[in-house]
Amino acid sequence: MNPEALSAAVLAVLDPIAASLRSDEGLGVDAADIVLERPRNRDHGDWSTNIAMRVAKRLGSNPRELAQRIADGLTRTDGIQAVEVAGPGFINIRLEAGAAGALAKTIVEAGDAYGTNDSQDGVSVNVEFVSANPVGPLHIGHTRWAALGDSIVRLLLASGADAVREYYINDAGVQMERFALSILASAKGEPTPEGGYPGEYIAELAKRVLAAHPGLLEMPEAEQLVIARDQAYEYQLAEIRASLDAFNVPFDVWFSERTLHAQGPEGSSLVDQAVDRLRDQGHVFDEDGAVWVRTTDFGDDKDRVIRRSNGEYTYFAADAAYYLNKSDRGFQNKIYLLGADHHGYVHRLKAIAGAAGEDPEKNIQVLIGQLVSVRGARLSKRAGNIIEMDDLRAWIGTDALRYALERSPADSPLDLDPELLQKRTNDNPVFYVQYAHARTHNVARNAADSGVDRSEFAPELLTHETESALLGALQEFPRLVAFAAEVREPHRIARYLEELAGLYHRWYDNCRVIPKGDDPIQTVHRTRLWLNDATGQVLRNGLDLLGVSAPERM
C-alpha cells in the first residue's frame, strides 16, 4: 500500500464520520489534503497523520475522540495491521508486511517510470539559466547554475510539466564591441584595449579568426570589427555549447538577444512592440522626453526607464521584450536562475510580469544562487582571472561535481572540497550513493550465478526491521520528486538518495539474498531479490534526476 492509497483509505473512513457530525456541510478535504509522515521512531508504526486535529474544530469534535473513530475504521481496512492514537490526536498506522512489501514488485515493474507523477500536469515552464555572455569561457558560477537548472527541469518533466531549458545569449550590446576590439588587438599583436577582455583564450580566438579570414587586417576597420565580432562569437558560443554538453546539460532553446532588436516585416522590433504592449496595459508614461514603466505598482523600488530621451532603449526594454516573447511562445510560468550579484533583478522582473498583465507571484520565479568556492583551485590558464567549468570538471569529474553542486540549497554559499570528492570512501557522498547502486547490481549478478531469480514473490516475508525501513523510504520517492519539483530544490533528491543508500547498506548487512553455504534457495531469497532490484531502480532514477550516472560496477 503506497501513501496515495493509504490517504484514500483514511479519507474513505473520514467521510462518513464527517457526514454524521455535520451532515449539512461538506468536509472540504480530499486525499491530497491528508498528510502522511514517517514517524521518527519506527516503533510508532509506518505512517502517521494529524488529519483529526486539522478537521476536528470544523466538525465540532474533540481531536482525540475523532482520531479514535478514524483509527477504529482503519483497523478494518485491508492491508493495515494496527492503528493507534497518540498525544492530542495523532494517528499512527502500521501496515501489514504483505501490503508494505508489495511495493518492491511495483517498483521493478514500473522501472524508469517509478517516481514520475502528474503534480505539474498541464503546466508549461520556461527555465532560463547560465545565459553567460558569449565573450569568454564558462566559469565556476555558471557551473553551479548549469547543474541546478538542468536538474530543476528534470524534476519538472518527471512531474508532468511541459518544461524547457533555455539559454539567453547576450549577443547585443557594448560587451560584444569590446569583445571585437579585444580580438582585433590580439590579431594585430597589440595590448588589450581598456575595458577589453584579457586572457590566452582571446589570442586563441584571434588566431582562428585570422585563419578563417586571412585578409582581415587589410580590410576597412569597420569591416574588421564586424568580422572579428561575429566569427569569434561563433567560435566562443560553440565552446560554451561543448562545455555544457560535456557537463550533461542539454539546452532545448538558444535564444539570441539580437532577435529582440531585429526589425520585423512591419518595421518594428520585438522591443518596440513590447513598449507598445506595456503602454496598452496602462503602465507606461512619458516624462522628460523619456519613456517609463511604472514598476513601483508591482513592488519595484523605483520606476524604470525603458527608452531614454535620446531614443535609445535600456537593458530593461530587452528584459521586457524577452519576457513577453516567452509568454507568446506559450510558457505560462517562467523561472530565472540568476547569480548572487543579480538581487536587483528580482523586483524588476516581477514588475515586468505585473505590467504585462500576469501574476508576479505565480507566473515568474527568480532564484538567486550564492557563490561557490573551491579549496585549492587555480585560476584558468586561458582566462587568467576565473576558474573555468572545463578545468573544474576535468579535475573533479562530471558526476562528483554535479552531485556536489546539487546537494545544497541554491541560496547557500558552497565550498567544494575536491580532495573529498575524488575519494572512493563513504565520506564522499556521491561515491556513497553510486556504490550503493553498484552493490545492487553486484548482488543481482551473484544471485544469478547462485540460481536465485525473481520467479517467486511473497511480500509478507519482508519482515526484518531493515526491510521495513527500506520499503518505507522507497515509498517516499514519488512524493519527494513531486515536492522537489514544486519548490525547485534538487538537493532534496540528493539527501534522500544518501538516506536510501544508508538504509540499503544496513539491509545488505542483515538480510541475505543468497543462501549460506549449501542451504537451499527459499522463497524469501527470491523475494529479497525483488527488494534489492527495486532499491537499485530508485537509486538509478534519483541519480538520473540529478544528471549523475549510476554505474553498475565500481
Q: What is the pLDDT of residues 419-434, one digit of tens each?
A: 999 999 999 999 999 9
Query: 474, 103 in Cβ contact below 8 A?
Result: yes
Across 290-383, where does the E strand assignment appear?
290-293, 304-307, 333-338, 364-368, 372-374
- Residues whose CB is less than 8 angstroms from the CB of residue 434 and which lie 6 or more positions away in sequence, other chains included: 399, 543, 548, 549, 550, 551, 554
Q: Which residue(s) pair with 337 in the sheet?
A: 367
What confidence tier does 24 reach under pLDDT thresholds 50, 70, 90? low
What is d(CA 475, CA 480) in angstroms, rounded to the nearest whole number? 9
pLDDT tens string 377-402: 776 667 777 899 999 999 999 999 99
| pLDDT attached to residue 26 | 59
In this structure, are strands 36-37 and 333-338 parallel, antiparallel, or unpaired? unpaired
Instruction: Please give the grid coordinates belonging to residue 188.
Output: 594585430
What is d(CA 528, CA 439) in angstroms, rounded to the nearest whole number? 14
Total residues belonging to the chain: 554
What confidence tier does 34 reach under pLDDT thresholds 50, 70, 90? confident
* CA nearest neighbour of 256 among 206, 322, 343, 210: 322
* CA nearest neighbour of 282 among 334, 335, 357, 349: 357
pLDDT tens string 538-549: 999 999 999 999
Least confident of 15-19, 142-146, 258-262: 15-19
The superfamily (CATH) of domain 3-95 is: Arginyl tRNA synthetase N-terminal domain (3.30.1360.70)
Instruction: Please give the grid coordinates belonging to residue 168.
Output: 539567453
Mean per-residue pLDDT, 238-247: 98
* CA nearest neighbour of 415 among 383, 378, 370: 370
| pLDDT attached to residue 241 | 98
pLDDT tens string 250-295: 999 999 999 999 998 888 999 999 999 999 999 999 999 999 999 9
Query: 388, 380 in Cβ contact below 8 A?
Result: yes
Q: To the nearest whole number, what is the mean pLDDT of the chain?
A: 93
Residue 276: how many other CB atoms lie within 10 Å: 10
What is d(CA 116, CA 126) in angstroms, rounded to the nearest whole number? 20
Of the two residues 264 and 69, the one the predictor is more confident about is 69
Which one-letter amino acid corresponds to residue 159?
A: S
Query: 391, 382 in Cβ contact below 8 A?
Result: no
| CA-to-CA separations, 193 to 185, 189, 228, in angstroms, rounded | 7, 12, 15
- Residues whose CB is less than 8 angstroms from the CB of residue 57 and which lie 6 or more positions away in sequence, other chains included: none
pLDDT tens string 322-376: 999 999 999 999 999 998 878 888 999 999 999 999 999 999 999 998 888 898 7
The architecture CATH gives domain 101-119+424-545: Orthogonal Bundle (1.10)
Residue 43 has pLDDT above 90, yes or no: no
* 498, HSE (Cβ side, Cα atoms, 13 Å): 15
What is d(CA 259, CA 468) in angstroms, rounded to the nearest whole number? 57
What confidence tier does 155 reach under pLDDT thresholds 50, 70, 90? very high
* CA nearest neighbour of 100 among 2, 236, 179, 207: 2
| pLDDT attached to residue 23 | 54
Mean per-residue pLDDT, 133-157: 96
What is d(CA 474, CA 531) in angstroms, rounded to the nearest whole number? 10
124-169+251-372 and 3-95 share a CATH fold: no
Least confident of 3-7, 91-95, 228-232: 3-7
Range list of H helices, 281-388: 315-328, 345-355
What is d(CA 152, CA 545) in angstroms, rounded to the nearest whole number? 8
| pLDDT attached to residue 96 | 87
Instruction: Give phi and psi for 213, each to the nearest 5.
Output: -135, 80
Domain assignments of the chain as residue spans, ordered by start: 3-95, 101-119+424-545, 124-169+251-372, 174-246
- Residues whose CB is less than 8 angstroms from the CB of residue 269 and which lie 6 or more positions away in sequence, other chains included: 260, 261, 262, 263, 321
Number of helices (H) and strands (E), helices first, in the chain? 19, 14
What is d(CA 302, CA 113) in angstroms, rounded to the nearest whole number? 48
Q: For domain 124-169+251-372, give its CATH number from 3.30.70.20, 3.40.1080.10, 3.40.50.620, 3.30.930.10.
A: 3.40.50.620
Query: 23, 60 in Cβ contact below 8 A?
Result: no
Residue 528 has pLDDT above 60, yes or no: yes
Residue 301 has pLDDT above 90, yes or no: no
What is d(CA 150, CA 135) in angstroms, rounded to the nearest whole number? 23
The string of DSSP codes covering 197-256 is --SHHHHHHHHHHHHH-TTGGGS-HHHHHHHHHHHHHHHHHHHHHHHHHHTT---SEEEE
What confidence tier does 36 reach under pLDDT thresholds 50, 70, 90? confident
Mean per-residue pLDDT, 182-201: 95
| pLDDT attached to residue 25 | 58
Across 184-283, where does the E strand assignment appear?
253-256
On the 0-12 / 13-18 / 19+ scale of CB atoms within 10 A, 368 is middle
| pLDDT attached to residue 27 | 66
Helix axes 491-510, 465-487, angle to 10 degrees: 170
Query: 313, 271 in Cβ contact below 8 A?
Result: yes
pLDDT tens string 204-221: 999 999 999 999 999 999
Classified as helix, coil or strand, 334 is strand
| pLDDT attached to residue 394 | 94
| pLDDT attached to residue 356 | 93
What is d(CA 227, CA 235) in angstroms, rounded to the nearest whole number? 12
What is d(CA 148, CA 13) in angstroms, rounded to the nearest whole number? 42
Largest CA-CA distance found in the chain, in angstroms, rounded? 93
Query: 397, 407 in Cβ contact below 8 A?
Result: no
Residue 406 has pLDDT above 90, yes or no: yes
